Amino acid sequence: MTQKTVGRRIAINTISNYIGQIVVLAGGLLLTPFLIEHLGSSRYGLWVLVSAIVGYAGLLDLGIANAIVHYVAAFKAQGEPQRASALIATALWLYIGLGMLAMLLCVLLALLVPGHMHLNAAEQADLAQLMLISAVAVGVGIPCVASNAILRGLQRFDQANAIVVGGTLLSIGSMIAAVNLGWGLPGMIIANMLVNILSQIPSYLLIRRSAPDMPIDLRRAQRSLVREVGRFSWSLFLVNIASQLTSKTDELVISTRLPLAAITPYALGRRLSDVAQLLTYQFVKVLMPVASELHAGNEQQQLRELYVTSSRLALAAITSVGLVIILLADAILRLWVGPQFAVAAPIVLILTLSNVLDMSNWPAVQVLQGMGKHHPLSIISMMTAAANLGLSLLLLPQFGVIGVALGTCIPTVFEVFCFVLPYALRTLRVSVLTWLRSVLLPALIPALPTGLLLYLGHQISALSTLLELGLLGGLAGITYLLVYLLISPPERVIVRNVLRAYWVAHKRA
């Protein structure tokens, strides 16, 4: 596979991912103030708490989704579609069993967890009811993960994102309808479950069209492939546990000491801080199947180039968006959900810094997964998650929700610089000097003028409208891009060639 082919494939899949994620983010951001207004801060906090608790059932994916992506891409590159078909069937049987187990575990959680929360009797009863309904939704939802993973393994991110966009729009519409009809939180959960089920129909039709030589037939499952899936996914399971502990535990920690209303500002701060990471991840998540193909073809130099280039682009992307979110956090919160929630701005700052650091290593994680050398990362992730939980519990009594945010950020700093980065550089044989020169500096230097522009703009303007906010954020983005292209020759050459091709085509027309 040539470097030009790799670049084209990554570009197409990334654009598709961004279109899909922008729709998902926009829908979520617009839905949030609607839910807070119609449900109230406490009921919205209950919704966040339920999502955090049942979200742990997602751990029963066991890393199988990434195993599907990896093996479908690898078997396709090796010309073994029948083996890919057998692996998919095996994974689906595993998912069916895990879905039933997840349902049972959620029922047990519904019986045990509410009594340990800082809730009154009525809130505990509501929490138990919602968790029982969510048990069915989770049990059905786990097997539904497979279809998206198959499409990503085929590198048909465009089709996977089309399904996600359609499902998101249907889900938002059904949730709004459930609230307006007075069905409340139970109706919202049921509506989401039904949309998830319906989305499987177009997903499998697209899979059959994209890979007719790779039929999905449960009778093709092979016991021997269970071990192969497990060998790849066991460490991803630990990584998923760590991710859930990091992303879902904070709200649970807060609920043990503070009322439900305290969860809402923190959840909003986390939601806003996650925007930069979610947008950047749309580029990063296309790397793993590409790395799987390159590794299957023993193209080591291209793997190193893939890591360096993708790390630079990912860090630049999240830094540019993260700067806007950090320096304009109070204005964004004020215009998004109301001035009473602007107090969450410090939470946004801390969690966004944590996400920027975390994202700097995601390209390495994806490439290492494609190479099958990701297993040591699972231990590192578990250590970080345990430190996150311990620090959050330790700092909450003295610093409140700010302490919980610090409990997330501090372990991330150690994980990035003391463990993941050195391991990635050593495994991929990239020098520290190369990483500093080709990844870190090109991404950070443009942050200086961009940050100054945002600070001065915020001081001069009251940013009382979304138009003012958008103009300042857009100007900052353009500033960052221009400085970045000035000091990053590879991307400057690409942009110049694209503009030249467009100019030639325009003159011919």
Tens digits of residue pLDDT in 432-485 = 999 999 889 998 999 999 999 999 998 888 888 888 888 999 999 999 999 998
Query: Is residue 213 over pLDDT 70?
Result: yes
Confidence of residue 326 (pLDDT cuts 50, 70, 90): very high
Two tokens at 126?
């509501």
Contact 416, 440 (CB under 8 A): no
Q: What is the mean pLDDT of residues 351-368?
A: 86
Residue 123 confidence (pLDDT): 80
Q: How far apart are CA 355 and CA 349, in angstroms?
A: 10
Asked whether the predicted pLDDT for residue 257 surpasses 90, the reply is no
Residue 247: per-residue pLDDT: 66
What DSSP line would sit under 358-405, residue for residue?
Answer: HHTTHHHHHHHHHHT--HHHHHHHHHHHHHHHHHHHHHHHHHTHHHHH
When pLDDT is averaged across residues 93-105 and rounded to a whole number, the result is 87
What is the Cα gyration radius of the chain?
A: 23
Q: Report which secondary-structure segment, H or E, holds 281.
A: helix 263-284
Q: Is 465 helix (H, G, I), strand (E, B) or coil?
A: coil
Tell which wins on pLDDT, 187 or 502.
Answer: 187
Which residue, among 192, 223, 78, 37, has the nearest Cα to 130 in the 3D structure?
192
Residue 286 confidence (pLDDT) above 60: yes
Instruction: Give yes or no for residue 498 having a pLDDT over 70.
Output: no
Q: What is the pLDDT of residues 406-443, one digit of tens each?
A: 988 898 888 888 888 999 899 888 899 999 998 899 98
- Of residues 507 and 430, more confidence is placed in 430
Provide the pLDDT confidence category of residue 328 given band limits of 50, 70 and 90: very high
From residue 242, alpha-carbon distances to 124, 269, 326, 360 in Å are: 27, 21, 25, 18
| Least confidently predicted of 173-187, 216-230, 448-462 | 216-230
Percent of the chain with pLDDT over 70: 89
Evaluate if residue 491 carries a pLDDT over 80: no
Average pLDDT of the chain? 82
68 pLDDT tier (thresholds 50, 70, 90): confident
Q: What is the pLDDT of residues 15-59, one digit of tens each?
A: 767 777 777 777 777 788 888 888 887 787 788 778 777 777 766
Domain boundaries, the chain: 19-237, 256-498
What would the two tokens of residue 54 be? 């049942």
Whole-angstrom Cα distance, residue 329 to residue 349? Answer: 8
